[in-house]
Chain A
Amino acid sequence: MKRLIKLEHVNKAYRQHQALDDVSVSFDDGQTTVIVGPSGSGKSTLLRTINLLTQPDSGTLSIDDLAVDFAKPISSAQKIAMRKKTGMVFQNWNLFPNLTVRGNIMEGPTVVLKQSKTEAAAHADELLKSVDLLETADRYPNQLSGGQQQRISICRALAMQPECLLLDEPTSALDPEMETQVLRVLLELAKQKQAMVVVTHNMVFARAVAERIVFVENGRIRYDGSSDGFFNATDERIRHFLAGISLSEGSSMA
Chain B
Amino acid sequence: MWEIIKTATPQIIAAGIRYTIPLTLLSFAGGIFLGVITALIKLVVPSGNPVKKGLIRILQGIAYFYVWLFRSTPLLVQLFIIFFGLPNLGIKLPAFTAAVITFSLNTGAYSSETIRAALLSVPSDQWDAAYSLGMTETSVLWRIIFPQAVRIALPPLSNEFIGLVKDTSLASSITIVEMFTVAQQIEAKNYEPLVMYMLVAALYAVLCSVLSLLQGWLERRTSRYAQEGDEAVD
Give A contacts to B, CB under 8 Å.
51, 53, 76, 79-81, 83-84, 86-88, 90, 92, 94-100, 107-108, 111-112, 140-146, 149, 153, 156-157, 160
**In the complex the two chains form, what is the Cα distance from A80 to B135 in whole Å?**
7
Interface residues of B in 201-234 (CB under 8 A from A): 224-226, 228-230, 232-234
Per-position 1/0 for B122-153, Cβ under 8 A of A:
01011011111111110100011001100100
The answer to whether A51 and B132 have CB atoms under 8 Å apart is: yes
The answer to whether A94 and B125 have CB atoms under 8 Å apart is: yes
Give B contacts to A, CB under 8 Å.
123, 125-126, 128-137, 139, 143-144, 147-148, 151, 224-226, 228-230, 232-234
Max chain A CB contacts within 10 Å: which of B134, B225, B234? B134
B151 contacts across to A, CB distance below 8 A: 98
B139 contacts across to A, CB distance below 8 A: 111-112
The answer to whether B229 and A142 have CB atoms under 8 Å apart is: yes
**In the complex the two chains form, what is the Cα distance from A160 to B225 in whole Å?**
24
The 8 closest A-B pairs by CB, nearest first: A88-B132, A108-B133, A94-B129, A140-B225, A98-B147, A83-B134, A112-B134, A143-B229
A88 contacts across to B, CB distance below 8 A: 128-129, 132
B225 contacts across to A, CB distance below 8 A: 97-100, 140-142
The answer to whether A112 and B135 have CB atoms under 8 Å apart is: yes
A99 contacts across to B, CB distance below 8 A: 225
The answer to whether B128 and A107 have CB atoms under 8 Å apart is: no
**In the complex the two chains form, what is the Cα distance from A59 to B147 in whole Å?**
37
A53 and B131 in contact, given A96-B126, A97-B225, A142-B232 (Cβ under 8 angstroms): yes
Nearest CB of chain B from residue A101's CB, rounded to whole Å: 11
Known A94-B126, A142-B232, A145-B232; 4 more pairs at CB < 8 Å = A96-B130, A107-B143, A142-B226, A156-B133
**In the complex the two chains form, what is the Cα distance from A76 to B139 in whole Å?**
13
Nearest CB of chain A from residue B47's CB, rounded to whole Å: 9
B133 contacts across to A, CB distance below 8 A: 83, 87, 107-108, 111-112, 156, 160
B228 contacts across to A, CB distance below 8 A: 140, 142-143
Max chain A CB contacts within 10 Å: which of B123, B132, B135, B226? B132
Q: Which A-chain residue is minimally distant from B137 (CB atoms)?
A: A76
B129 contacts across to A, CB distance below 8 A: 88, 90, 94-96, 153
What are 6 inter-chain pairs, A to B, with CB distance below 8 A? A83-B131, A98-B225, A111-B135, A140-B228, A146-B233, A156-B133
Nearest CB of chain B from residue A144's CB, rounded to whole Å: 8
The answer to whether A143 and B143 have CB atoms under 8 Å apart is: no
**In the complex the two chains form, what is the Cα distance from A95 to B151 in whole Å?**
17
The answer to whether A80 and B136 have CB atoms under 8 Å apart is: yes
A143 contacts across to B, CB distance below 8 A: 228-229, 232
Q: Which A-chain residue is minimally distant from B146 (CB atoms)?
A: A98
Q: Which B-chain residue is minimally distant from A159 (CB atoms)?
A: B133
Nearest CB of chain B from residue A61's CB, rounded to whole Å: 15
A92 and B147 in contact, given A97-B226, A108-B133, A140-B225 (Cβ under 8 angstroms): no
**In the complex the two chains form, what is the Cα distance from A83 to B133 in whole Å?**
7
Q: Which A-chain residue is minimally distant from B222 (CB atoms)?
A: A98
A100 contacts across to B, CB distance below 8 A: 225
The answer to whether B128 and A94 have CB atoms under 8 Å apart is: yes
B144 contacts across to A, CB distance below 8 A: 96, 98, 107
**In the complex the two chains form, what is the Cα distance from A72 to B143 in whole Å?**
30
**In the complex the two chains form, what is the Cα distance from A100 to B130 in whole Å?**
15
**In the complex the two chains form, what is the Cα distance from A95 to B131 in whole Å?**
12
Q: Which B-chain residue is minimally distant from A166 (CB atoms)?
A: B132
B126 contacts across to A, CB distance below 8 A: 94, 96
Max chain B CB contacts within 10 Å: which of A87, A92, A111, A156? A111
The answer to whether A83 and B132 have CB atoms under 8 Å apart is: yes
Q: Which A-chain residue is minimally distant from B131 (CB atoms)?
A: A53
B230 contacts across to A, CB distance below 8 A: 142
The answer to whether A108 and B134 have CB atoms under 8 Å apart is: yes
Nearest CB of chain A from residue B81's CB, rounded to whole Å: 41
